[in-house]
Amino acid sequence: MLRLLTAGESHGQALVVVLEGLPAGLEITVEDIQAEMARRRLGYGRGPRQRFEVDELTLLGGVRHGRTLGSPLAIEIRNTEWFRSDRWHDEMSPAPGETKEPLTQVRPGHADLAGMQKYGFTDARDVLERASARETAARVAAGAVAKRLLSHLGVEIISHVIQMGSARVPAEAARPTPADLDAVDESPVRCFDNVAADAMIAEVKAAAKDGDSLGGVVEVLAFGVPIGLGSHVHWDRKLDGLVAQALMSIQAVKGVEIGDGFEVAGRRGSAAHDPIRWNSDDGRYERLSTLAGGLEGGITNGELLVARAAMKPLATLNVPTLETVDTATKESAVSFKERTDVTAVPAMGVVAETMVALVLADEAQRKFGGDSVAEFVRNAEAAAAATRDRDA
């Protein structure tokens, strides 16, 4: 099974990724990971940091001659801003000392105050540096590797934005497929529907003009997922629960939906479930819709896996207006301003892909096992053949 650990702060020297449990023989390069991380910087409404923040990767361990060794994979992502100037050297130094500019006007909706209370800090920077969405760069690096592993099973994962502010893709609109990923990424807001994309851009422009921020919803689609990942036997083995937890862990995500979960809650049972038929041509059972999102009883059923994540508007505003309290003086104030985006919803979609990939890769390793990629694939093929034989 996979185990992911990340370390590092937003304005520190680097982020560090450790991914344990990969089989030996998985082909991976720095360029593969960088290509995926470049997608995280996409999106209309991103702040200036994305224009000069370049992810400089170093594979520190677990890879030799372009293939994993079966040992933990270690990746360093250098913070180019740290090495470009000395602006953060004193403020984020690991050496003993203290800050000259403590942040005490905490931001509503951010981890600032709760984190200060939990850990006994008096400076919000001790919290926000780790709580920052910069940490998702480390996740995307790990997710690139998980996606590469899943590709050996024929699994492909994409995302697209379906809502930004009040602008939303119509329910009947066509979904993108993996062949459409380039078209999605070329959209300024990573939206597959051109009409909705224009409306989303207008929403971002309006929010930017007011110095405000904007939230939205992304849909993650996993194609080719094998039957039988996850289990109904324990609460913590249910794959829909694992996917929901992974998506909810993304900074600023406040809601998760599997399939059409919120929509079917308002229907009668006769119209809330996916009809099942036997496809004699393919020799398999098939669902005629995706209301359940490819998951039944916490188990993948071989259909398209559909999950949605709702991101709240960012708590840091370009024109601070949120009422708060200065924790040092206890006087009323407005929250402080850090460099920020108008919206990070398009980038969040790439992070959401990452989290789904990590969950699926972990469960695939649990089910199929294997010390090498060849053994992993062989076991998965044997499991699929056994399922086909039983179903026939």
Ordered by where they begin, the domains of the chain are 97-391 (3.60.150.10)
Task: Return d(Cα 17, Cα 138) in angstroms, integer.
Answer: 6
User: Nearest 5°: CA angle at 355, between 349 and 358?
Assistant: 140
In which residue are the tokens 């981890």 written? Answer: 111
Do 337 and 318 form a contact (C-beta atoms < 8 A)?
yes
Alpha helix positions (H), the chain = 30-40, 49-52, 80-84, 112-119, 125-131, 136-151, 181-186, 194-209, 239-248, 261-264, 345-368, 373-391
Q: Please tell me the predicted confidence (pLDDT) of residue 294.
A: 97
pLDDT at 46: 55
CA distance 291 to 298: 14
Report the C-alpha gap between 108 and 316 in whole angstroms: 9
**Alpha-carbon distances of 192 from 37, 176, 346, rounded to whole Å:** 20, 7, 12
Q: Is 128 helix (H, G, I), strand (E, B) or coil?
A: helix
Answer yes or no: are the C-beta atoms of 226 and 150 closer than 8 Å: no
Q: What is the pLDDT of residue 84?
A: 87
Q: Are 200 and 164 in contact (CB under 8 A)?
A: yes
Gap between the Cα atoms of 104 and 31, Å rounded: 41
Percent of the chain scored above 70 by pLDDT? 96
pLDDT at 272: 96
Helices (H), 193-257: 194-209, 239-248
| Tens-digit pLDDT profile for residues 207-257 | 999 888 999 999 999 999 999 999 999 999 999 999 999 999 999 999 999
- For residue 30, give Cα distances in angstroms to 54, 57, 138: 13, 6, 13
**pLDDT tens-digit map of 178-198:** 999 999 999 999 999 999 999
| DSSP bridge partners of 9 | none
- Give per-residue pLDDT as tens, 41-100: 887 765 555 555 567 999 999 999 999 999 999 999 999 888 888 889 988 999 999 998
The total of other beta-carbon atoms located within 10 Å of residue 241's CB is 17
User: What's the angle, vertex CA 346, arms to CA 237 and CA 356, rounded to 5?
Assistant: 15
To the nearest whole percent, how much of the chain has pLDDT over 90? 84
What does the pLDDT average to over 172-179? 96
The helix/strand/coil state of 162 is: strand
Non-local (6+) Cβ contacts of 71 within 8 A are 61, 62
In this predicted structure, what is the pLDDT of residue 1? 85
Partners of 165 in the beta sheet?
none
Residues written for the chain: 392
Q: What is the mean pLDDT of residues 21-47?
A: 89
Residues whose CB is less than 8 angstroms from the CB of residue 359 and which lie 6 or more positions away in sequence, other chains included: 239, 242, 243, 246
Confidence category of residue 339, pLDDT binned at 50, 70, 90: low
The per-residue pLDDT for range 371-388, each reduced to its tens digit, is: 999 999 999 999 999 999
